[in-house]
Structure 1
Amino acid sequence: MTGIDAMVHAIEAYTSRLRKNPLSDNLAREALQLLGGNIHTAVHRGGDRDARGAMLLGACLAGQAFANAPVAAVHALAYPLGGHYHLPHGLTNSLVLPAVLEFNMPTAWELYAELAAIVAPAAQGSGEARAAALVQALRELIAAIGLPATLQQAGVAEQDLELLARDAMQQQRLLVNNPREVGHDDALAIYRAAWGAL
Structure 2
Amino acid sequence: MPPFTFNTVGSIVFGEGAVSRIGALAAGRNWRKTLLVTDPGLARIGLVDAPVKALEATGVAVAVFSDVQADPPESVVLAAAELAVSFGADAVIGLGGGSSLDVAKLAALLAGGQEKLKEIYGIGNAKGPRLPLMLVPTTAGTGSEVTPISIVTTGASEKMGVVSPVLLPDVALLDPELTFGLPAAVTAATGIDAMVHAIEAHASAGANNNPVSQALAREALRLMGGALERAVNDGSDRGARADMLLGSMLAGQAFANSPVAAVHALAYPIGGHFHVPHGLSNALVLPHVLHFNAEKAGDLYAGIAPIVFPELADMAVEERGFAFAESLAQLSRRCGLQARLRDVGIPEDAIDLLASDAMKQTRLLVNNPRPLALEDARAIYRAAW
Asked which structure has the greater RCO (Cα within 8 Å, sep 6+), the reply is 1
1:66-100 residue CA offsets vs partner (Å, 9 max, x unmatched) = 01100000000000000000010000000000000
* Structure 1 residue 125: Cα displacement: 2.9
Q: 2:359 aligns with which of 169, 173, 195?
A: 169
Residue matched to 1:140: 330
Match of 1:57 in 2: 246
TM-score by length of 1: 0.97
Cα offset, 1:153, TM superposition: 1.0
The aligned runs of 1:1-198 (5 Å cut-off) are: 1-18=189-206, 19-123=208-312, 124-195=314-385
- CA distances 1:147-170 after superposition (whole Å, capped 9, x unpaired): 001111111110000000000000
CA contact (8 A) 2:268 2:281 kept: yes
Q: Measure the CA separation in 2 of the matches of 1:86 and 1:116.
A: 31
TM-score by length of 2: 0.50
Aligned length: 195
In 2, the alpha carbon distance for the partners of 1:133 and 1:172 equals 28
Q: Distance in 2 between matches of 1:39 and 1:107?
A: 28
Please identify which structure carries the higher strand content: 2
Give the 3-state SS of the residue equivalent to 1:153 in structure 2: helix
Stretches of structure 2 that go unaligned for 5 or more consecutive residues are 1-188
**Separation in 2, partners of 1:86, 1:182:** 24
SS in 1 for 2:200: helix
Contact 2:202–2:258 (8 Å) recurs in 1: yes
**Runs of 5+ in structure 1 lacking a partner?**
none
Distance 1:165 1:134 in 2: 24
Provide the rounded CA distance (Å) in 2 between the counterparts of 1:82 and 1:46. 26
- Bigger radius of gyration, 1 or 2? 2
Report the 3-state secondary structure (helix = DSSP H, G, I; strand = E; otherwise coil) of the residue aligned with 1:93.
helix
Q: RMSD of aligned C-alpha atoms?
A: 0.7
Which letter does structure 2 place at the counterpart of 1:92? S
Is 118-127 or 142-151 further displaced after alignment?
118-127
Give the match's secondary structure for 2:310: coil
| SS in structure 2 at match of 1:122 | helix
SS in 1 for 2:205: coil
Deviation of 1:12 (Å) = 0.2
Percent of residue pairs bearing the same amino acid type: 59
